[in-house]
Amino acid sequence: MQDVFALYICDSICVDKGDDNFLNYVYEYAACKYLQDGDKLSALKFIGDINSFDVEKNIETTCNYLNYSFFKYINEKYTINKIVEISKMKNNIEYLNIFNKTLDELRKEWIHYELNNNCSLVDKMNIYGLENGITEEELIQLSYFDKYFNLKKINSVDKINKDEAIYDVNLYFKLLKATYGAYNYLGGDEQFETAYNNIVDALSTKEIVCTNELEEILRENLKFVHDSHFTIGNSRDYNTYYFNEDYNISYEKNNYYMEVDDKKYKILKINNDENIDQYIKPSLNANGQMSYAIYIEGKSKQFFINRDIELDNNNSIKYITIKLNEDVCCFQKPNKIFEYNELEGIPVLTIKSMSNVPLDKSALEWIKSANLIKDKQYAIVDLRGNSGGRGEFCDYWIEELTGQLPVRENSSYIISSKQYIEIIFEILNYPGYRYNKYSFYYPSLYETLDEMINESKDKMEIKEDKKISVEKINTEIYVLYNKSTASAAECLIEALNDVENVTFVGTNSSGALLSNVDGAWYLPNSHISVNMGYNLHVIEDENFKEGEGFEPDIWCNSKDCLERVIKIIQESKDGN
């Protein structure tokens, strides 16, 4: 993983020629080397040349995550002083070109050096070659990277011939069997081979196949795969919610009543359905008071839908049609992944992604933010629009809050293979870049990933990972989420699901926990992108369903959710 982090840094040079960010890395590395050699004076000299580099706070962290193989390789070719001398030519265009050319050549040399000595592609990508019948060459065809880890240029394709289409299908189903974590859980060979035969039959009558048609044939025959991370092509079906808060609805003596024209009517049917419990939800009204409202799930992307309501007042039947608006996240995207605010004296933690991005260290602030609410009476955690990332960001926040990792009662079944995990972590997603910056703060996070690789066998296996739940925390926390809250963000919901003093507010979450999304591939002839995960995570919770998500305790539309929760907290404070 360290090698890939270095590769990521080197790769950025080829894109941003003469980028000062890389020069900072060179200076930092020089500082690290001098510090390791005990020459603190020289180390501080180089640190002084680094833009916005905090000596006191960051020097030890820098030593932990910057001393990787590319720099080691450079050090074998040139002395540190020579590299720094080259880097200081940056103000001269002629020498800058020499500097970039030198680094480009070193990068290529380094890749070949690594392939020939430490991490041969055969060793890393020869997954299941004998056991499951997929070869190294086929994996390279399916990967977005060539055998030297360079990103391929992939153009769109409109049409292919029948043989090319069937070749893609054959390769795709080999990949599914070899790498998809939920393969056996969703029916195994019997289910997938039936789908394969149906797809080949559909293609056998065609000489030319449009790629969008092939995509649709694949999707139609694999619709039994209820996995929100599993995708074919760029399209994905998203459920949404529609709501109506225009009427006062109450619950009395096992019946729901609606006020219409100053009269109270018992609700008999919604869209001719007597099972009205599934549509009427406990909710927060505009004043922050508990009430009931109508929420209906729908797949179609419309701004609103209409529903017919059948009402009864002393045997006087009345029919009305109500308009339900789509629940839409319309709040502004923050400048950072994480933001901490206090509104009306209430801490509000807004986290928009469970992964870091370059130059944004606010993800670390998110993990540490749990300490800011430990001694507070109330707090709000806003997960609306958080589509996920890495579950570790949830786990370590929970650890900061409760003192233990992670708080789940459910069992997690992990499909793993040593070589496949190495591909995912080292080749496809550059996780060294994501994780190594945090290894100083959370060394167990990095160790966990290493253990996952080291302890995995060379074949698929199932591991049962049982978690122990925390029963109660001191702070009363309101967690806000909606249909756009998915994947790793739902891990936080799962972890807090049975904890006292936690109330969930919003609409159903996305429901994307069965697997993960680390397996990104494309079919070599049609260039259709396909995504699947290597994990299988079985949620033993009746409140969760894949594709439907976790249901909140209190329903509220996304637009007004935060303001209404603040009002209900203020009322609770006033009541005390």
* Contact between 141 and 524 (Cβ < 8 Å): yes
Please give, one letter per residue, the 3-state secondary structure of 2-19: HHHHHHHHHHHHHHCCCC
Mean pLDDT of all residues belonging to the chain: 72
DSSP code of residue 298 = E
Tens-place pLDDT, residues 307-337: 999 999 999 999 999 999 888 765 455 567 8
For the cut 60, the answer to whether the pLDDT of residue 77 exceeds it is: no
**Residue 505, SS3?**
strand
Question: Number of C-alpha atoms within 13 angstroms, CB side, residue 574?
Answer: 7
Query: Measured at the alpha carbon of residue 375, what is the angle toward residues 475 and 340, in degrees to the nearest 5?
Result: 85
Measured distance CA(230)–CA(179) in Å, rounded:
12
For the cut 80, the answer to whether the pLDDT of residue 218 exceeds it is: yes
pTM metric for this prediction: 0.70
Number of helices (H), then strands (E), belonging to the chain: the values are 19, 22
For the cut 70, the answer to whether the pLDDT of residue 103 exceeds it is: no
User: Tokens representing 275?
Assistant: 């099972």
Measured distance CA(430)–CA(307) in Å, rounded:
48
More confident residue, 402 or 167: 167
For the cut 50, the answer to whether the pLDDT of residue 195 exceeds it is: yes
More confident residue, 226 or 442: 226
Cα–Cα nearest to 22, from 35, 10, 7: 10
* Contact between 529 and 522 (Cβ < 8 Å): yes
For the cut 80, the answer to whether the pLDDT of residue 5 exceeds it is: no
* Contact between 470 and 530 (Cβ < 8 Å): no
Query: Measured at the alpha carbon of residue 121, what is the angle toward residues 117 and 122, in degrees to the nearest 5?
Result: 100
* Contact between 211 and 527 (Cβ < 8 Å): yes
For the cut 80, the answer to whether the pLDDT of residue 517 exceeds it is: no
Query: Measured at the alpha carbon of residue 155, what is the angle toward residues 153 and 157, in degrees to the nearest 5?
Result: 150
Measured distance CA(357)–CA(566) in Å, rounded:
30
More confident residue, 440 or 206: 206
Query: Measured at the alpha carbon of residue 225, what is the angle toward residues 428 and 227, in degrees to the nearest 5?
Result: 55
Tens-place pLDDT, residues 461-495: 434 444 445 667 889 999 999 999 999 999 899 88
Buried b (16+ CB within 10 A) or exposed e, 43-76: beebbebbeebeeeeebeebbbbbbbbbbebbee
**Residue 258 forms beta bridges with which residues?**
249, 265
Q: What percent of the chain has pLDDT over 90?
A: 36
**Residue 351 forms beta bridges with which residues?**
338
Cα–Cα nearest to 165, from 527, 520, 521, 519: 527
Q: How many CB atoms lie within 10 A of CB 384?
A: 23
- CA-based max dimension of the chain: 93
pLDDT at residue 139, as a whole number: 76
Measured distance CA(225)–CA(391) in Å, rounded:
23
For the cut 70, the answer to whether the pLDDT of residue 59 exceeds it is: no
Measured distance CA(312)–CA(264) in Å, rounded:
9
For the cut 50, the answer to whether the pLDDT of residue 198 exceeds it is: yes
Segment 12-41 mean pLDDT = 46
**Residue 117, SS3?**
helix
Count how many residues are written for the chain. 576
* Contact between 384 and 482 (Cβ < 8 Å): yes
* Contact between 64 and 440 (Cβ < 8 Å): yes
Query: Measured at the alpha carbon of residue 242, what is the angle toward residues 236 and 248, in degrees to the nearest 5?
Result: 165
Q: How sure is the predictor about 516, in pLDDT bands with cuts at 50, 70 and 90?
A: confident
Residues 6+ apart with CB under 8 A from 312: 265, 266, 268, 318
Tens-place pLDDT, residues 408-460: 444 333 434 444 444 444 433 333 333 333 333 344 444 444 554 454 443 33
Count Cβ atoms within 10 A of the Cβ of residue 570 and give its class: 0-12 exposed, 13-18 middle, 19 or more buried.
middle
Measured distance CA(521)–CA(499) in Å, rounded:
39
Tens-place pLDDT, residues 253-287: 999 999 999 999 999 999 999 999 999 999 998 88
pLDDT at residue 378, as a whole number: 97
Cα–Cα distances in Å, from 28 out to 22, 50, 82, 359? Answer: 10, 7, 15, 16
More confident residue, 406 or 47: 406
Q: How sure is the predictor about 39, in pLDDT bands with cuts at 50, 70 and 90?
A: low
Structural domains in the chain plus CATH codes = 2-117 (no CATH), 240-326 (no CATH), 338-575 (3.90.226.10)
pLDDT at residue 464, as a whole number: 43
Measured distance CA(151)–CA(451) in Å, rounded:
28
pLDDT at residue 22, as a whole number: 44
Cα–Cα distances in Å, from 112 out to 107, 153, 378? Answer: 9, 21, 56
Question: Number of C-alpha atoms within 13 angstroms, CB side, residue 517?
Answer: 17
Segment 540-562 mean pLDDT = 89
pLDDT at residue 405, as a whole number: 67
For the cut 60, the answer to whether the pLDDT of residue 70 exceeds it is: no
Count Cβ atoms within 10 A of the Cβ of residue 468 and give its class: 0-12 exposed, 13-18 middle, 19 or more buried.
exposed
